Amino acid sequence: MVVLLLLAAIQAHSLGVQPVQAFMATPRPCVVPLGLGAAASASQLCLRPGGRRDRPRPAIGMQLQFPRREAQQSREYNVAKVRGGYYMSDKEGDAPLEEVIRSKMADVGDEMVEEEQGKGKELGQGLSDEEFEAFMSRQTVELEGAVTDGTLAPKYMPSLQPDDPIIREIYRLKLATKVNSFELLDSRWNGNEVLQYLTDAGSLFVKMNRVEDSSVFMAEAVGLTSILRTNTVTVPKPLHVGKLPKVGVFGPGAFLITEYLRLEPFGALKAGNQEILGAQLAQLHASDALEDVHKGRFGFVVNNLHSLSPQDNTWKSSWIDFFYDRMLAQVNVVYKASSWGRAPLPEDDLEFASLAQKVLKQVPTLLRGTETVKPALLHGDLWIGNTGATAEIGPVLFDPACYFGHSEYDLAIMTLFGGFSPVFFDAYHAVLPKEPGFEQRQKVYTLYNYLNQLNLFGDPAVRDTCVQLMKEIVPDLEVPESPDVLQ
């Protein structure tokens, strides 16, 4: 409602609306957001808590390529989500819990807020293995629709009706005058679903999630637009971010509409496309098109998510400091339950704690030589499943978790899941040759990605892989009897 009022009141400007500042307990620094209009003005208004306007400030120059002015997800909102620990049962962050819940679920009543808090406290805390399995079974029954009476729990389902939220926005934005049909193309474990909508004006991609906040897709749209601005590698152009209603226990959710790119089956695996993508990724990493945005710093204009893991993209002048904070954040949650499962590791796993502590202390040494690296725009989640190719254009990337970091970081996750051939890496390094210490740094960056996998899925085999990697990174470590508690 706030967004609609602001857009109606000021139609001559491209606004950066900060949707949750009305809930903020204390004022936060005003951050000039990205311009969102297709033809944004040269200056933008910066909104402070309570709706007070600061003097106009220059836009940072990057514009989301939406056909109409849309509400920009503010940096403060993302910071509140990260600090509030929404994706962890331990929500004792800097932001008040009520603020985070209200910003996340503005349309949900008090009963749902209490339900969320209860789930967060119950998951993985003080439960035996049998109790935990029973609890997760109940959650599966509730959230996946299979209830005891044989009926299905209600949830939002796309339709062709004019009042369907996706159809309504397609028509409102004049992306088409008639939607003929749609089909599901992909469904992933985190609840994301990708559909193709066939219209009289061509096809559209729609990515939706029945329980996620629109800020997540807005941050993804910012990343896609950032990559587009470099003119190096193809990504789908974002067209609109909208909201899905709460239906039953699901929601409210969100959706992202992008241009449609016809991907070839297994096109990303073809040698020709791998060679092209290797060169294009190196060009993306070497691009200076966004120097006016990063200004030599590491981070990003908004926080985002790597899968379900929050990424705090607060600007830092040092890559070593930035990466240390990222690594520390991963290590610190291995003993904490999350909203989708119990803690990955038991508290008495002293071997892991000791090794992780030693690696953290050695980060400046392990990343020696990166003190002068230039910030590169990273895809951030570049496994083979987030790549594709079209017959006309060639390689395509999607589902980014962008930020400005060390170019070598993007390469580590590629080796983690496989699918990229030597042809790709040869083409990449022909543009950006390996620097001294490359192999050692790849182990460190690979460890980070394994830690993320451990926190997402709690796989004991991944834990063992992390331990083995840490022993390789800092050899001959001895496990102390009482390792220091990680901060």
**Among candidates 255, 239, 145, which has minimal Cα distance to 192?**
255
Distance between CA atoms of residues 468 and 447, nearest Å:
10
Given a contact cutoff of 8 angstroms between Cβ atoms, the answer to whether 262 and 174 are in contact is no
Task: Report the C-alpha gap between 143 and 35 in whole angstroms.
Answer: 37
How far is it, in rounded angstroms, from Cα 65 to Cα 80? 26
Q: Of the listed 381, 426, 459, 484, which one is catalytic?
A: 381
Q: How far is CA 461 from CA 446, 450, 457, 468, in A?
A: 15, 10, 11, 11
Please confirm, yes or no, whether 381 is among the known catalytic residues. Answer: yes
Assigned token pair, 30: 């005003």
Cα distance between residue 409 and residue 382, in whole Å: 10
Closest of 62, 66, 476, 111 to residue 287, by C-alpha: 62
Instruction: Find the DSSP H helices in 231-368.
Output: 271-286, 291-294, 319-332, 350-366
Residue 36 near residue 66 (C-beta atoms within 8 A): yes
Residues identified as active-site = 381
